[in-house]
Amino acid sequence: MSVAKGSIRAWAMAIRPRTLAAGAIPVAVGTAVVAREGEVRAGPALAALAGALLLQIGSNLANDYYDCVRGADTADRKGPLRVTQAGLIPPAAVRRGYRVAFGLAFLVGIYLVAVGGWPIVAIGLAGILCGWAYTGGPAPLGYVGLGDVLVFAFFGPAAVVGTAYVQTGEASQLAWRASVPIGLLATAILAVNNLRDLDTDRACGKRTLAVRLGRRFSRVYYVLLVLGAFAAAVPAVGARAAGAFVVALPLAVAPTWAVLSTVDGPALNRALAQTAVLLVGYGALLAALHVLHSSGCTWWFWSPWE
């Protein structure tokens, strides 16, 4: 299907709506932890969700813009079409778009600071700065191999623990434990992306972890991230309840096989989408288990951490 220049469809492609689940799931998990430990506050929870989605949109637009102007997105790209490189939206318009998204996230942050206090200032400003500096600025963080650390930090602890904190005023151990598997699976999404783009990234000087350490490492790294997420279910929900995550294991089979067996662009694109589905399925189950615990089914959740 053809896409008209500057159309709503073109902007939807730039925003990448399928990636927004990666921003929403950590907020859902953080809120479920609050439900388990106390009382959910709808206002801060919804504001945290809005802020997370706006940061994700801003980061997507900044990535689209800067990867084009820096030469990382070319006609040889194996991934989905990028609107700046394809000429569907003028670069200046995409630049304005990410500035608007980050600006709106800042406004949401003002409310979150009012209800959560000054620690939220550090999280919010760091989120905006890193969302831009991932591919923007004089020394893009994603171009020197720091993308994995940032994705884990912001989609894991910052998002999950931050969501719980603005509702309770506390960063509980349970929120920290629940954040680890979410951060690992979000990083696994980036790992597939960087594996797919390894050759084109190397050609333009984008030194991702995959470029620095090679294809074989990238494949093992992906497997370790996925296995780590399932292992982290034990401290996240308790030894008995962790067995429930066996139902999410089938979601990991197809993307893991693709990562281990192919360099084909379309196959790795599917693996990336399947890893996102794995994150959603795992995160939804994790949130559901915490909500179930809050309803009184505590016998099933025995853990040495409780």
Q: 6-29: per-residue pLDDT in tens?
A: 788 889 888 988 888 888 999 999
| Rounded Cα gap, residues 107 and 102, in angstroms | 9
Over 70: is that where the pLDDT of 216 sits?
yes
* SS3 assignment, position 236: helix
Please give the single-letter amino acid code of residue 123.
I
| Long-range pairs, 204-210, Cβ under 8 A, ≥24 | 204/70, 204/71, 204/72, 204/74, 205/143, 206/70, 206/72, 206/142, 206/143, 207/143, 207/144, 207/145, 208/142, 208/143, 208/145, 208/147, 209/145, 209/147, 209/148
pLDDT in tens, 97-153: 999 999 999 999 999 999 888 888 888 888 888 888 888 877 888 888 888 999 999
> Which of 33-37, 217-221, 293-297 shows the highest mean pLDDT?
217-221
* Whole-number pLDDT of residue 184: 97
Report the pLDDT value the prediction gives residue 69, as an integer from 0 to 100.
Answer: 83
Classify residue 25 as left (phi > 0), alpha (psi -120 to 50) or beta.
alpha
Q: How far is CA 155 from CA 15, 74, 162, 299, in A?
A: 18, 28, 10, 30
DSSP state of 75: T
pLDDT digits (tens, 9 = 90+) for 51-102: 999 999 999 999 889 888 887 766 666 767 788 888 889 999 999 999 999 9
Q: Name the token pair of 247.
A: 């139902």
Burial class (CB in 10 A: 0-12, 13-18, 19+), 255: buried
210-218, long-range: CB within 8 Å, 24+ apart, which pairs? 211/145, 212/145, 215/263, 218/191, 218/194, 218/259
In angstroms, the Cα distances linking 208 to 20, 72, 198 are 22, 12, 8
What's this model's pTM, rounded to 2 decimal places? 0.91
Residue whose pair of structure tokens reads 């999410």 in the numeric block: 248
Residue 296 has, within 13 A of its CA and on its CB side, a CA count of 0
Separation CA 221–CA 226 (nearest Å): 9
> DSSP alpha helices (H): ranges in 38-172?
42-69, 83-86, 91-116, 119-133, 147-153, 159-168
158: its two tokens: 């910052």
pLDDT at residue 298, as a whole number: 55
- 295 has a pLDDT exceeding 90: no
Show Cβ contacts of residue 61 under 8 Å, excluding neighbours closer than 6 positions: 14, 15, 94, 97, 98, 101
233/5 Cα distance (integer angstroms): 45
